[in-house]
Amino acid sequence: MAAGAAAAALGREGGEDAFRRLFRFYRQRDASDLRGVVDFSAPGGQVFRSHLSISSVSDQDASRAGLQPVSRWKAYGLNGYPGFIFIRNPFLPGCQRHWVKQCLKLYTQKPNVCNLDLHMAPEKTVDLWGQSKEQLRRKGSSKCEPRSLLEKLRWVTLGYHYNWDTKKYTANHHTPFPSDLAFLSEQVAAACGFQGFQAQAGILNYYHFDSSLGIHVDESELDHSRPLLSFSFGQSSIFLLGGLKREEAPTAMFMHSGDIMVMSGFSRLLHHAVPRVLPNPEGTALPSCLDQALSSDLPAGSVIEHSSDEDWQVCAKYLQSSRINMTIRQVLAEGQKFPEESGTDIKGQAPSEDSHHQENGRAKRRKPNTDS
């Protein structure tokens, strides 16, 4: 039986819900037999070309965000998933390196929040990059070597932070959202027809080959009319996109370095998950798109910064066994405010079962957020 047919058959079996069965199917599967997974580098079947709002983003603004002109983007949709847009790596050569470095070196700094804050004294998590870079640079292939703090990182939250007790965002738990990431998100949203998008909250997920992300829906934002944006860098993964109910079998698709997903409209509130991280399909330590150096001639007003060779060596070593995902969303509609009763403190929060980062089959608690 072909992999796709086998997956469909699993989705129809009784007992466990269809999404959970397919999650386990792809979680445990031999990586050499994934014929049932949609590959947007060879689109066909339920995949169709998606039209973008080319005039909404100038070539100059796209370049300032490290992106190719929108007219060159390869964007796709999926039959049965209105509002879902998949954009195959639209980044200019070398520009992915900026976002990787930001996720490891800058966005991990205070006042942003990370999973290590739950287990370590505040002074121990002030400079994760500084405490990890030498250890990462020297790291070999032995699994017996102790992990650096960056390798123990599972998530970082930006902007408005999610409260696990109330399952709400609150006005009194907010830190400044990075301006460069906000600009990137605004250009991608505008190209997909969402002018005026405001990047107000986000989560960075840090995956390794033994990591997964459980089944969930991103529904805690007060405004669901704005899209959820997802950016991936490093090793590849399988992403599952399901329905409004977990009884609906999901569609599996590959996500590679530089790929962007936009979930809007009907697809904004669908169940989704990441059952596994996969080695770069090119067979090299890093995808070739990450080997490209950044141009020395950046446009005026660019949010992209050059990375030193030393910094990139640390990032490259980290990415040899890891994947970074940034999810960005607008929490409030224009002029909207939080309900007064939502003000609570972050302490004492605990994540729900399906929002766990999972490693080696064991769920590891991560908070806040239920994002992929």
Binding-site positions read 216, 218, 272
Query: CA angle, 100 as apex, 180 and 309 as ends, to 5°?
Result: 105
Element (H, E) at 187: helix 179-191
Sequence-ordered list of residues with C-beta below 8 angstroms from that of 361, at least 6 positions apart, any chain = none
3-class secondary-structure state, position 176: coil
Q: In whole angstroms, what is the distance from residue 334 CA to residue 249 CA?
A: 35
Q: Which of 26-56 are b and which e, b meaning 16 or more Cβ less than 10 Å from the residue's Cβ?
A: bbebeeeebebbbebeebeeebeebebeeeb
Helix (H, G, I), strand (E, B) or coil at 263: strand
Cα 131 to Cα 51, 72, 83, 124, 330: the distances in Å are 45, 40, 42, 9, 33
Residues in the annotated binding site for Fe cation: 216, 218, 272
Q: Name 289's bridge partners.
A: none
Torsion of CA 315, 318, 323, 326, to 10 degrees: -40
Distance between CA atoms of residues 36 and 252, nearest Å = 7
- Cα–Cα distance, 246 to 171 (Å, whole number): 31
CB 215 within 8 A of CB 272: yes
The rounded distance, in Å, linking the Cα atoms of 299 and 64 is: 6
Which residue type occupies 27?
R
Beta 251-255 vs 168-174: how paired, if at all?
A: unpaired
